[in-house]
Chains A and B, each alone.
Chain A
Amino acid sequence: MRRERRISGPTVIVAVAASLAASYGMQRLNRRAETDPRRGTASPAAESSRAAGPRRADHGQSAPVENPSRVVREPSPRLAEPGAQAPSMPSYEEMFAEDMRLNAMRVSTVTEQLRAEGRDPEWASRMEVLLEAATSELLSGNGRLIRLECRSTLCSVRAEHHSEESQADFIATLPMRVFRDLDGAFMARFAGEGGGLETHGFFARNGHSVPIPEVQ
């Protein structure tokens, strides 16, 4: 005679709870794999973002620009899981030094791109007038314009500042003054040859973007 075994209620509850916990755990692992650059599996969104080259501030109106170079950096620490001890962040000095190094490379790369462009006399002249008026007003009593140049899709502005505050205002405000005519600013702070505070900024023609190299 065959004995029929039935699964008890508590057994079902335990089984369901264990499975839910396992499912939750699997999804946490998937999330970690998506966000951790040291793991080989990146999310489709992250992959497509990298493949598309530099992000654009032109609302998708123009074709992607070939990335001139890539900057390699160390993997970033991950955000702590709830209840876990927070991973140590790099010190501010380390971050600052790394970003200064990256910015020097970016400025060099974009400057090469600018120099490789021919000059569109009508557009370049108009943008130089616009940028000169805006920079002169912002730098009045606060610094001086060192160099200003536009070609066919890019403009370069180099300025010196008397104080860190006036430099911060310059970086925040110049893009506001020209955003209706120029897209996607990249403005790097750096120490000038004499140790002074300098900014090297780049702007792109409407429908284009400043081709700053992507960091990986």
Chain B
Amino acid sequence: MTHLRMLVFFTFAAIVGTLAFPAVTSATSDRVYGGNGCQPNFGYNYGTDVYLHAGYVRNDSTSSSRGVWCPVVRSELSSSAGLNTSEIVVYDGNDNGAVWCGMYSYDSTGSLLRNEFEVTGNPDTGRETLTFTSMNLSDSTNGGHYSVYCDMPRSDISDSKVYFYRVREN
């Protein structure tokens, strides 16, 4: 009888444990990065009027759009399932322009395997979330990596910004 009761206790505890730990064992990496981790692009749409602040990066130029590259950490090295839906939260401060962002997937040679671009609505201004759905690295060896690029239009009604971005690795 004692053994039977122990068995009941073990079974009950196993069920409790299964319900208690699922978040701990998630197979994905879900990370949020601040826009102030981005750096000005030293090529296309380069300019010194990109400012980093606690919580965002903005384009202060009243004459030109500016681009920034933003880092993405890849930690699920064994996974070939790529990225889950990822998001970039931006502020479009220009009536006639738009914030557009690209997500890039590179291999170890620097070859571009895939990309996806998303654009804010135009002529709307304000905060928007750009959603990326088609990125993966299933074609890459372990040196494969991701990058985010965002282009902010010239300052108009207000400065355009990249607040933060969320990247989920499968």
Instruction: Decide if B17 touches A24 in the complex (CB within 8 Å).
Output: yes
Interface residues on B, range: 35 or more
The interface residues of chain B, by DSSP majority, are classed as: loop
Instruction: Decide if B138 touches A212 in the complex (CB within 8 Å).
Output: no
- Which of A23, A90, A184, A187 has the most chain B CB atoms inside 10 A of its CB? A23
B17 nearest CB neighbor, chain A only: A23
Q: Does B75 contact A (CB under 8 A)?
A: yes
Partner of A176, one of B6, B81, B138, B149: B149
Interface residues on A, range: 35 or more
Instruction: Decide if B17 touches A57 in the complex (CB within 8 Å).
Output: no
A100 nearest CB neighbor, chain B only: B109
B67-123 residues with Cβ-Cβ distance < 8 A to A are 75-82, 100, 102, 104, 107-117, 119
Q: Tell me the minimal C-beta distance from B120 to chain A in angstroms.
A: 13
15 contacts between A and B (CB under 8 A): A15-B10, A23-B21, A27-B18, A35-B27, A43-B27, A55-B114, A55-B138, A57-B114, A95-B143, A99-B111, A172-B43, A172-B104, A173-B44, A186-B111, A186-B113
A8-37 residues with Cβ-Cβ distance < 8 A to B are 11-12, 15-16, 18-24, 27-28, 30-31, 34-37
Q: Which residues of A are in contact with B by a Cβ distance under 8 Å?
A: 5, 7, 11-12, 15-16, 18-24, 27-28, 30-31, 34-37, 43, 45-46, 49-50, 55-60, 71, 73, 76-79, 89-90, 92, 95-96, 98-100, 102-103, 106, 167-169, 171-173, 175-176, 179-180, 184-189, 201, 212-215
